[in-house]
A = this chain, B = another copy of it.
Amino acid sequence: MVKHLADVPSNIVTNEIDLTNQSPYRQNYHVESESGSLGDPNGFSYFNHQYHLFYQWSPLAFSKNPHYTQHGWKHLVSKNLIDWQDLGAGIESDTVLDKHGTYSGSALPVDNRLFLMYTGNTWTNTESEDDWHRVPYQVGAMMDKDNKVKKWMTPLLKGPLKGYTGHFRDPKIFKKNGIYYAVLGIQRENLTGAALLIKSSDLHKWSIVGEIKADHNNFGYMWECPDYYEINNHGILEFCPQGLETSNNKYRNIYQNGYLIGNHLNLENGQFDCGEFHELDKGFDFYAMQTMRDSKGRRLLIAWMGLPETKYPTEKFHYTGCMIFPRELQVKDGVIIQKPVKEIKDLYQEQFLIEGKTNKESIKLEAGKSNSRDIQLELDCTQAYDTILDLFANEDNTDHLRLIFNHKKQEFIVNRGHCGLPISEAYGAERSCHLDLNKKIKVRILQDVSSAEIFLNDGKDVFSMRVFTDNKNNHIFITSHCGEASYKAKINQLRYRK
């Protein structure tokens, strides 16, 4: 592993980028890596009059002969959450505290600088050569307004902590009543996961408050990427539990991403009165979400539209992973609702307004040639047994991303099993949820070249997914069986981001 990407012969780096650029699956307005792997978002924040987004970055992950590896945080900035400027390496693995990986973390503006807090991963062999242990360091760093990062060489905390294994990572920092806090993912010695709360008054000396104690938190062998924040009088603990067995139509992905919602967390003792665990996104590809509060007071969400340990067809082009389009979070009726940030309107180009009624034969909705669309639909499926919307469809509609609204079963199903290349088949080709189809519903879909984010009823249920299909498969069809459905569609073609 090299310390800096700059140490790698430049033709090796550019070869990777050139190959990646040949991919037919490159996204239009979703952030993705210029080559190699993109993973967890990190340090999502607003500082110095712009949004900052870092991510887990390994640009040479798929390079070969000679193979170099480099790992760090990529750094991007944006004024509008759409057009992102690539600032290259944000943090790289170049010190004794992070020599085997600059793992995930977060950021918080402090005075005139941005404080970065992350996990430095190291391995050590204590006794014999084959007895390797993780030694995780929680590391602090300060970034100035010129985007220069200075790491603090005294770790904030060193793991493993007593009673826990070396799985201790992903600090998410927040400030309340003048005190700094962070939540981290940690694994107990009995191999169960938890979220640990720590605190500091000066960012340098951190003490352990203890585990977050919730009624419904006893599951999974590890929790990754926790996040705690408050919306009005609600406290929300988000995290990614690993090791949940599938239960009916829940927890179908390899790892989960969800939240507990309740009263404000007691920051003195970690007590958290909350309800049961909800999956944040019910789709196929969603992980490692991170939130921030922006200058407008919005709680914004970013996440990796991908999963760990999962192969994607883009690996052929030596890259993988993209971000979801940023969402604004609100709480309604005790659950989180998610909406694309309103800045998406800056991407709008041609608009198509279509109204009609379905019949047994599929109707093609004419909505431009590019799959990059913001689709807003009002559907009345109350009179049909089922209504089917196909996206990414080929001319004869044999290949498509299929959305099924089944009135009889009051269910929504999305099936990507007949949509271009197969992905992660062992985890099934369908995701579903209960949906009240006795009333009109709203469906919003952010489509890009190789992804769809589906928002039902103003973001009450959200399904995010990658699809890898031919660019000519750009049609939209709608049909229904045993009765008519009526639809009003407002479809905006979206411009390329800068």
Contacts from A to B (Cβ < 8 Å): 245-252, 254, 385-386, 388, 402, 404, 406, 408-411, 413, 415, 417-418, 425-430, 432, 434, 481
Contact = CB atoms under 8 A, between A and B. Distances in A.
Contacts of A409: 245-246, 251-252, 254, 427
A248 B245 contact: no
Q: Sorted from nearest, which 4 A-B pairs have the closest CB atoms?
A: A248-B248, A386-B426, A246-B409, A246-B411
Contacts of A245: 409-411, 434
Nearest to A437: B245
A418 B415 contact: no
Contacts of A388: 425-426
Contact of A402 (B402, B404, B413, B425): B425
B418 A254 contact: no
Nearest to A252: B409
Nearest to A384: B426
A413 B246 CA distance: 11
Contacts of A247: 248, 434
Nearest to A404: B426
Contacts of A418: 417-418
Contacts of A248: 247-250
Nearest to A409: B246
A450 to B, nearest CB: 21
A425 B398 CA distance: 13
A246 B410 contact: yes
A15 to B, nearest CB: 27
A430 B430 contact: yes
Contacts of A252: 409, 411
B427 A430 contact: no
Which of A249, A251, A426 has the largest number of chain B CB atoms within 10 A?
Answer: A426
Given A245-B410, A415-B428, 15 more contacts: A245-B434, A246-B406, A247-B434, A248-B249, A249-B249, A251-B409, A254-B408, A404-B426, A406-B426, A413-B428, A415-B417, A415-B429, A417-B417, A417-B418, A417-B429
Nearest to A412: B246
Contacts of A246: 406, 409-411, 432, 434
A321 to B, nearest CB: 19
Contact of A429 (B249, B425, B427, B430): B430
B434 A428 contact: no
Contacts of A402: 425
A70 B434 CA distance: 40
Nearest to A248: B248
Which of A402, A410, A429 has the largest number of chain B CB atoms within 10 A?
Answer: A429
A250 B432 CA distance: 12
Nearest to A411: B246
A406 B426 CA distance: 6
Which of A246, A411, A417, A434 has the largest number of chain B CB atoms within 10 A?
Answer: A246
Contacts of A408: 254
Contacts of A386: 426-427
A479 to B, nearest CB: 10
Nearest to A255: B408
Contact of A428 (B250, B254, B385, B432): B432
Nearest to A249: B248
A428 B426 contact: no
Contacts of A415: 417, 428-429
A141 B265 CA distance: 71
Nearest to A254: B408
A478 to B, nearest CB: 13
Contacts of A432: 246, 428
A77 B372 CA distance: 62
A417 B401 CA distance: 13
A240 to B, nearest CB: 15
B427 A406 contact: yes
Contacts of A481: 426
A430 B386 CA distance: 17
Contacts of A427: 386, 406, 409
Contacts of A426: 385-386, 388, 404, 406, 481
11 contacts: A245-B409, A245-B411, A246-B409, A248-B249, A248-B250, A252-B411, A386-B426, A404-B426, A406-B427, A413-B428, A417-B417
A426 B481 CA distance: 9
A245 to B, nearest CB: 4
Contacts of A410: 245-246
A228 B395 CA distance: 52
Contacts of A411: 245-246, 252
